[in-house]
Amino acid sequence: MILVTGGAGFIGANFVLDWIGAVGEPVVNLDKLTYAGNLANLASLEGDARHAFVRGDISDRPLLAGLLAQHRPRAIVHFAAESHVDRSIHGPADFIETNVVGTFRLLEAARAHWSALGEPDKSAFRFLHVSTDEVYGSLGPDDPAFSETTAYAPNSPYSASKAGSDHLVRAYHHTYGLPTLVTNCSNNYGPFQFPEKLIPLMIVNALAGEPLPVYGDGQNVRDWLYVGDHCAAIRRVLERGRPGEVYNVGGAAEMKNIDLVRNLCATLDGLRPRASGTYAERITFVKDRPGHDRRYAIDAGKIRRELGWAPAETFETGLRRTVRWYLDHADWIAGVQSGEYRKWIERNYGAR
Ligand code: NAD
Ligand code: DAU
């Protein structure tokens, strides 16, 4: 079996669902269930013996030691993190606790578990750390895309905390020989994404008739990847990646935020037309995010050449699937819009 951390969040839940569907190997899913963790994402696995959910913190040493001793996973796939840049600006402490200290604790537990394994289990063990393209900083309009050798230059507390965790993972391979793998991926979108991130926030606001807040001049560029393609990349890296290596993952779908939001509005106009007018009428430019990275772009040549991975979805097909999913899951949206999420909206957008 494998141990997944953060498997009740957006990408983690998609990964667990895809893994059980595509591979069928049992998963122990360790998740603290912060505001971003949602067991409703895993409702379709209820009663499935291949999925064991454990509520807990990756910083909890005894819990980690107990889980590894009990389940003896052949791999750890580490998603658990604080993941939202805006939240890291308002309150960086949780990002250091989970992304840096939590990853350190998980690495320590993994090292103890792995060191005690006999062969061939020891050589076959893998620690896969799921990271982000944001660790490379911000690109100018004509700069080449981020490659695995691009120097780290994180600009937000979030990206700095992820960079710190990447360095720890690197060091655990270099110093102790732990068979690690790191993936640095671009912006994901798809089902179960919490509506604090650009695409689901715009869908949810559009359907509610609320403003669509575009930061700054809307010219910031992101490189978008459908979450199912990210999950497939992680499976491929776990299966065939070389220990100690880093793999960049991206969709070759660079887009300015304003173009993305207009495209999204046009998709919604087609699938759920308003009584009159277009959703794009609600686009509003608001005060920029402090330190806002201008452009991200990923060169995914290494994972394509070495491991034969390429995205299956184009941005057009992925966006349509995503919009349809949100239209079909009003109950899921209502569930996450209660409580903490409403307070966050007030804190982030109230003063913009
Ligand atoms: P998310 O915020 O939706 O989910 C994070 C999950 O981790 C939640 O279920 C949460 O409860 C859990 N968690 C948080 N702190 C924890 C702790 N201390 N112990 C145990 N569980 C904890 O995040 P996401 O968007 O699914 O991202 C998952 C991973 O992928 C993160 O490491 C993120 O940095 C990385 N990543 C995300 C993107 C993206 O576009 N969303 C792109 C590249 C990489
Ligand atoms: O690049 C990978 C990263 O992508 C991941 O590591 C992060 O976990 C993930 O949150 C995402 O970070 P971004 O900051 O790029 O994502 P976000 O959805 O917050 O914002 C995308 C872009 O849209 C960014 O340029 C800011 C802008 N934006 C965002 C929001 C929430 C707006 O213009 N308006 C908004 O309301």
Each residue of 6-19: pLDDT tens digit?
999 999 999 999 99
pLDDT of 110: 98
- What is the pLDDT, as a whole number, of residue 350? 85
Tokens in use for 343?
A: 């307070």
What average pLDDT does the segment 123-141 reach? 98
The whole-angstrom separation of Cα 214 and Cα 343 is 20
Alpha-carbon distance 98 to 318, whole Å?
30
CA distance 124 to 173: 14
Domain annotation covers residue 260: no
- Among the listed residues 31, 82, 158, 296, the single catalytic one is 158
Whether pLDDT at 340 is above 90: no
Instruction: Determine which one of 31, 57, 134, 293 is catalytic.
Output: 134
Distance, in Å, from the CA atom of 262 to the CA atom of 68, rounded to the nearest integer, reads: 47
57, 133, 229, 299: which one is catalytic? 133
Give 320-332 pLDDT, tens digit per residue: 999 999 999 999 9
- CB of 81 sitting under 6 A from ligand 1: yes
Q: Is residue 200 part of a domain?
A: no
pLDDT band at residue 346 under the 50/70/90 scheme: confident
Q: What's CA 105's distance to the chain center, in Å?
A: 20
Asked if residue 226 has its Cβ within 6 Å of ligand 1, the reply is: no
Q: Which of 85, 192, 205 to mutate to test the pocket of ligand 2 (most atoms within 8 A of CB)?
A: 85
pLDDT for the residue numbered 29 = 98
Ligand 2 contacts (CB < 6 A) are 83-85, 132-134, 186-187, 197-198, 201, 213-215, 220, 222, 257, 289, 296
Rounded mean pLDDT, 51-77: 98
Quick check: is 93 in a domain? yes
Model pTM score: 0.98
Tell me which of 4, 5, 10 to substitute to probe ligand 1's pocket, judged by most ligand atoms within 8 Å of the beta carbon.
10
Task: Decide if 330 is inside a domain.
Answer: no
Sequence letter at residue 196: E
Q: Is 134 a catalytic residue?
A: yes
Token couple for 142: 């004509």
Q: What is the DSSP string of 195-249?
A: TTSHHHHHHHHHHHT--EEEETTS--EEEEEEHHHHHHHHHHHHHHPPTT-EEEE
Total structural domains in the chain?
Answer: 1
> What is the pLDDT, as a whole number, of residue 6?
98
* pLDDT reading at 339 higher than 80: no
Active site residue 158: yes
Question: Separation of 83 CA from ligand 1 center, angstroms?
Answer: 5
- Which of 87, 132, 156, 198 to mutate to test ligand 2, by most ligand atoms within 8 A of the CB atom? 198
What CATH number is attached to the domain comprising 241? 3.40.50.720
Report the C-alpha gap between 205 and 141 in whole angstroms: 30
And the tokens for 178?
């732990």
Length of the chain: 352
Mean pLDDT of the residues in the chain:
97
Does residue 270 lie within any of the structural domains? Answer: no
Residue 272 domain-assigned (yes or no) = no
Read off the pLDDT of residues 238-289 as tens digits, 9 standing for 90 and up. 999 999 999 999 999 999 999 999 999 999 999 999 999 999 999 999 999 9
Residue 153 pLDDT: 98
pLDDT band at 352 (very low <50, low <70, confident <90, very high): confident
Q: Are 75 and 126 in contact (CB under 8 A)?
A: yes
The pLDDT tens digits for 297-315 are 999 999 999 999 999 999 9
**DSSP symbol at 182:** E
What is the distance in A from the centroid of ligand 2 to the CA of 292? 9
Report whether pLDDT(341) > 90. no
Q: 34 CB under 6 A from ligand 1?
A: yes
- On whether residue 237 sits in a domain, the answer given is yes
Domain of residue 116, residue span: 2-187+226-251+292-312
Query: Is the CB of 9 within 6 Å of ligand 1?
Result: yes
As a whole number of angstroms, the distance between CA 296 and CA 141 comes to 10
User: Does residue 192 belong to any structural domain of this protein?
Assistant: no
